[in-house]
Amino acid sequence: MMEAARPGSARVVGCCALSRRTLILSCGSLMLVGQEARAEPLPGPRGQVILTVTGAIGRTNSSGMAELDLAMLEGLGLHELTTWTPWTNGETEFAGVLASRLLSALDAHGSEVVGTALNDYKSIIPFDDFDSYDVLLATRMNGTPLRIRNKGPIWVIYPWSQYPELNDEVTRRKSVWQLNHLHVR
Amino acid sequence: MAAEPSPRSLGGGWRSWVGRYGLLMVALVLLTGSLALSFHKIRQQHETDLVDVGLSLWLTTQADFELQRLRHTLDAYALGRRDIAQSDLLERFEIFWSRMPLLVEGRDSATIRDATDAEILVPAIIGRLQAMEPQLHALRPGDDVLHAEVATSLERFVQPLHDMVVQVGNSLGEEGDSRKAARYTLYLEQSAYLLGIVVSGGILLALLFRETGRARELLAEAKEAQHRAWHLAHHDPVTQLPNRWLFEDRLEHTLRGAQRDRQQVALHYLDLDHFKTVNDNFGHVVGDRLLVAVARRLEAVLRQSDTLARLGGDEFAVIQTGLPDASGARLLGERLVSALRSPLEVDGQVLNASVSIGIGLYPEHASNATELHRAADRALYGTKAAGRDGCTMYDPVSRQPERRQALAG
């Protein structure tokens, strides 16, 4: 089901399936570093890069940006969220890293992020959202990594089931699917 | 009255319980249910109200647009453009694929489902995409046959997707029949729940008023019963005059007040002469009625502040207050005696009655209630000895030896 991995490419076809061993190794090293001094550079990605983060971040692993593969992202701590969404039937079980967790791991400073999708769709998400809600950068749906065809590799998921007030157009616009780039400012 | 705690039959108790608490339960359940459902419906309404026509148009346009981009990328890749890699083509393919479920799944596709045949069309397209996937993987630049085959397959989606955009656009501002019906149902339901709240609130208010009224009634009954009991315990049932117990209490009270205010108090002991004869000759009923008639006669002579009591049998007593001197006491005594000198009519019988009175004065003859009783009693004895039907004031001098003797004995 997976496409051939092309290391170094920011554009990814499908999602990379990493061996369990790689996942554990990556998450271990990232977590170790996360607790060390912030200035320490981020380790490089081993698998396909599914997300690049640019802008006001303190930790990078490439020139001025952080490149993350699925294992690095999920290594920050897999958070689960079951919710309805305006685009799916019934309740769906999502898993991924909390946006707030990723931003603090990258020592991000700013007030908002600009999320860009594979089709160049852009949306601005304020940091306030991450304080108020558990906004998820979902990488899995019902336990399986998201493919592009089901709105992967990353889908910004708000806890709609938990907070009915999120059922509005503004939040819909911020729920970027096929996200592959974040710019912190 | 229903409030009486008398034992009731089981059936009556059960019915009363249902009457009092059953209605309350029904009202509470109705209120809670209506509130909960109403809250739920308001929330539902909030969700239904979201205008999703614009979102639907966005979703269909995006699908249409991504199809164009996929076809364009396919042609560019197949014709061998260097800047287009196979992965770019496959990504376009995936992105187009991802747009298909959005047309039929979730709330935001409601208008699309209402206005178009998306629910038939989308599964068909996805089926074709699945069949097309291996072809795309196999496609290499310059493979004109495969290119043409894939391109033809994709071209078949163009018209239906374009039609879909137009149909959704045309439905702008229009509500689909299903949504219209849903909204109307929601309106009816909300009205019903509102009615439930109003009715149950009314029942609760009515119950509250009823229970308040009942409580007030019960309180009044209890107060009256208490008053009756007190009266019964402190009055003579025949004449309704204060009994000995209340009389003693009043006397103590009066003496305390007199001591404080340096006032004189007279105690009159009254004995009805030959009462036993009346009882014997005319019976107890007539005897009792005579006692009542005597009491009313005596009362007529007294002031409001004086207390007349029946101590028992044919014995009465009067506490007289506010006396300037002993002559006031003697005057009242004489008036009481003369009040009974005219005949009394009892049950059609004309009866002659007379009374013997002995008077004691406080503080002149006694320093406390016991001594005052004794003084009045001695004086009464004097009247009786002198032939009854008269009144005597206690004379401390003439009674001195007797009194000493009594004290010594």
The larger pLDDT score, comparing residue B173 to residue B261, is at: B261
- Check if B143 contacts A (Cβ < 8 Å): no
- Check if B133 contacts A (Cβ < 8 Å): no
Please indicate whether, in this complex, the C-beta atoms of B107 and A86 are within 8 angstroms of each other.
Answer: yes
Percent of chain A with pLDDT over 90: 68
Residue A56 Cα, gap to closest chain B Cα (Å): 29
User: B6 pLDDT band (50/70/90 cuts)?
Assistant: very low
Percent of chain A with pLDDT over 70: 78
Alpha-carbon torsion B247, B251, B252, B253, what sign? positive
The larger pLDDT score, comparing residue A11 to residue A46, is at: A46
- Check if B108 contacts A (Cβ < 8 Å): yes
- The CA distance from A120 to B197, in Å, is 52
Q: What is the DSSP string of A102-139?
A: HHHHTTB-SSEEEEEETT--EEEEEHHHHHHS--EEEE
CATH architecture under which domain B53-174 falls: Up-down Bundle (1.20)
Please indicate whether, in this complex, the C-beta atoms of B43 and A6 are within 8 angstroms of each other.
Answer: no
The CA–CA distances, whole Å, from B357 to B302, B320, B333 equal: 15, 13, 7
User: B193 pLDDT band (50/70/90 cuts)?
Assistant: confident
pTM above 0.90, yes or no: no
- Check if B46 contacts A (Cβ < 8 Å): yes
Residue numbers of A between 75 and 134 with CB closer than 8 Å to B:
84-89, 118-119
Question: What residue ranges define each of the domains in chain A, with the CATH number in brackets?
Answer: 20-184 (3.90.420.10)
Greatest mean pLDDT range, A39-53, A154-168, B25-39, B169-183: A154-168
Residue numbers of A between 8 and 37 with CB closer than 8 Å to B:
9, 11-14
Q: What are the extents of the domains in chain B? A: 12-49+180-221, 53-174, 244-408
Give the range among A76-80, B113-117, B127-131, B221-225 with minimum mean pLDDT.
B113-117
For residue A119, the chain B residue with the least C-alpha distance is B95
For residue B93, the chain A residue with the least C-alpha distance is A149
For residue B137, the chain A residue with the least C-alpha distance is A3
- The CA distance from B270 to B291, in Å, is 12
**pLDDT tens digits along B82-133:** 899 999 999 999 999 999 999 999 888 888 888 889 999 999 999 999 999 9
The CA–CA distances, whole Å, from B342 to A151, B278, B331, B376 equal: 121, 16, 18, 25
Residue B322 identity (one-letter amino acid): G
Token pair 């004449």 is found at B239
* Confidence check: pLDDT of A22 > 50: no
Residue A104 Cα, gap to closest chain B Cα (Å): 30
- Write down the pLDDT at residue B280: 87
User: B242 pLDDT band (50/70/90 cuts)?
Assistant: very high
Structure tokens at B366: 């006694």
Chain B residues with CB under 8 Å of A154 CB are none
Chain A residues with CB under 8 Å of B88 CB are 11
- Write down the pLDDT at residue B403: 40
- Report the mean per-residue pLDDT for chain B: 85
**Which of B142, B348, B373, B116 lies closest to B244, judged by CA?**
B373
- Residue B142's region, left for phi above 0, alpha for psi from -120 to 50, else beta, is left
- Check if B91 contacts A (Cβ < 8 Å): yes
For residue A92, the chain B residue with the least C-alpha distance is B106
- Check if A3 contacts B (Cβ < 8 Å): yes
**pLDDT tens digits along B311-368:** 988 999 999 998 888 889 999 999 999 998 888 888 888 888 889 999 999 888 999 9
Please indicate whether, in this complex, the C-beta atoms of B98 and A151 are within 8 angstroms of each other.
Answer: yes
Residue B372 identity (one-letter amino acid): L
Among A3, A87, A177, whose Cβ lies nearest the Cβ of B106?
A87
Please indicate whether, in this complex, the C-beta atoms of A86 and B106 are within 8 angstroms of each other.
Answer: yes
- Check if B80 contacts A (Cβ < 8 Å): no
- The CA distance from A13 to A107, in Å, is 29
- SS3 string, B241-296, reads CECHHHHHHHHHHHHHHHHHHCCEEEEEEEEECCHHHHHHHHCHHHHHHHHHHHHH
The CA–CA distances, whole Å, from B115 to A29, B174, B380 equal: 53, 10, 117
Cβ atoms of B357 and B253 closer than 8 Å: no
Question: Average pLDDT in the B204-215 region?
Answer: 88
Cβ atoms of B237 and B245 closer than 8 Å: no
Question: Under DSSP, is residue B108 helix (H, G, I), strand (E, B) or coil?
Answer: helix
Alpha helices in B86-176 (DSSP H): 86-99, 110-115, 118-138, 144-170
For residue A91, the chain B residue with the least C-alpha distance is B106
**CATH code for the part of the protein at B244-408:** 3.30.70.270
**pLDDT tens digits along B135-188:** 999 999 989 999 999 999 999 999 999 999 998 888 776 666 666 777 788 888
Please indicate whether, in this complex, the C-beta atoms of B95 and A164 are within 8 angstroms of each other.
Answer: no
Please indicate whether, in this complex, the C-beta atoms of B91 and A149 are within 8 angstroms of each other.
Answer: no
Calculate the CA dihedral of residues B224, B303, B344, B279 and round it to 10 degrees. 60
- Write down the pLDDT at residue B173: 64
Give the range among B11-20, B45-54, B223-232 with minimum mean pLDDT.
B45-54
- Write down the pLDDT at residue A4: 38
Which of B87, B109, B125, B136 would best serve as a mutation to test chain A binding (most A beta carbons within 10 A)? Answer: B87
Chain B residues with CB under 8 Å of A10 CB are none
- Check if B97 contacts A (Cβ < 8 Å): yes
- Write down the pLDDT at residue B45: 67
Report the Cα–Cα distance between both ends of chain A, in Å, rounded: 37
- Write down the pLDDT at residue A12: 38
Please indicate whether, in this complex, the C-beta atoms of B98 and A150 are within 8 angstroms of each other.
Answer: yes
Cβ atoms of A53 and A36 closer than 8 Å: no
- Write down the pLDDT at residue B2: 42
- Check if B90 contacts A (Cβ < 8 Å): yes
User: A29 pLDDT band (50/70/90 cuts)?
Assistant: very low
* Confidence check: pLDDT of B12 > 60: no
